[in-house]
Structure 1
Amino acid sequence: MNDTISPAEPADMAAVIETLAQAFQTDPALSWILPDDAHRARALRGLFRVLVPADGRAGVVLRSANDEAASLWRAPGQAHSGTLEFLRTVVPLVATFGLALPRGLKVQAGIDAQRPKGRFWYLHYVGVRSGSQGKGLAAGSSGPRRRLPMTPGCPAGWKPRRRKMCRCTSGWGSRLRSNGTYRAAARISGG
């Protein structure tokens, strides 16, 4: 296993999309939003086809050398998507989620409500393919200090805590409530 983490190039984006789609197949929030396994598998590919380029424009996409792990970072001041990004992504997201869109918006509203104000590198998504979990790859792709352009006065990152994003990050852990909201949020120190 090569655990080198580096910024993704345009030619890497299809592999990043697949890595994140596989990594989030069993995510509690996305399982609540999209309860059918087959629909969720298709929808996750559609979701990440929208999010990976959007987050690349707003920050940086990191990947492991063999595509076992990937993370999407939004630059300081870019944690909240603006009107232009919303307009650019609304039609593909409606097509991706269909009737599950209200559940997705409910989860997103819960995350947005917990996100602190200010300038910081925002860890939007980090995922590891199931066969590579437990090997420290999520920590590598979410440890931003050596891989993100540092901005004076901006913390390294923030992410809502998830109980089971992947085994190696389960210690961050609070639970997804049955109504699709998260219990708590936490800062990530990075390293």
Structure 2
Amino acid sequence: MDLENVCSTSALQALSKLLSSPEEEEDALDQVLYPSTSTGALSPGNIGPAKKEESKVNPPNKPENRKDIWDPEEVPEGSEFDDMWDPREQPEYDIIFKQHVGAEDVFLGMTRKDPSTACCEDLLVKIKLPGIKSSDITLDIHEKVLDLRTPKHKLVLHLPHPVDSKTGKASFITETEILEVTLTMKREFDFLNFF
């Protein structure tokens, strides 16, 4: 096969004609006959059907609301609890991962549990609240957010894993002034680690 015949203008036009629809052929012919100064003459980019640009601002299947400033999907979960003008201080806290193990796990290695956080079932949040009584504490747990309010403290904690908000336990230890919140994690692939 002769290389000059493959790369000739007529061969490229014939290939373009095979790949395009009849409506696009007329547009392509106009572009070849009357090329704009910005695009230039026929090039390999002109082969095939013309590319249509899609608007990436608003998806075509969603109705556009002119009053919306942003899409609800763009707002992170739990941001409704954040209040940067609240003067209360954030208390110190620790996040500890817990797992339920028995002798078969520790000594015999009969299950696939290991010390990693992937094998942990619970999330323990220890919050230091000096000078606070248990009656002053307001605690609200959501799937990904822990919201704690006292007269002196405010804590909005975005949790590292989704939790079951209905099965959590909280206890306030008055001697150390620490609130311990135990939450059961629910993750997508827990059935692989805990069977």
With the length of structure 1 as denominator, give the TM-score of the two structures: 0.22
Of structures 1 and 2, the larger Rg is shown by 2
Q: Pick 1 or 2: higher relative contact order, CA cutoff 8 A, min separation 6.
A: 1
With the length of structure 2 as denominator, give the TM-score of the two structures: 0.21
Point out the structure with the larger helix share: 1
Point out the structure with the larger strand share: 2
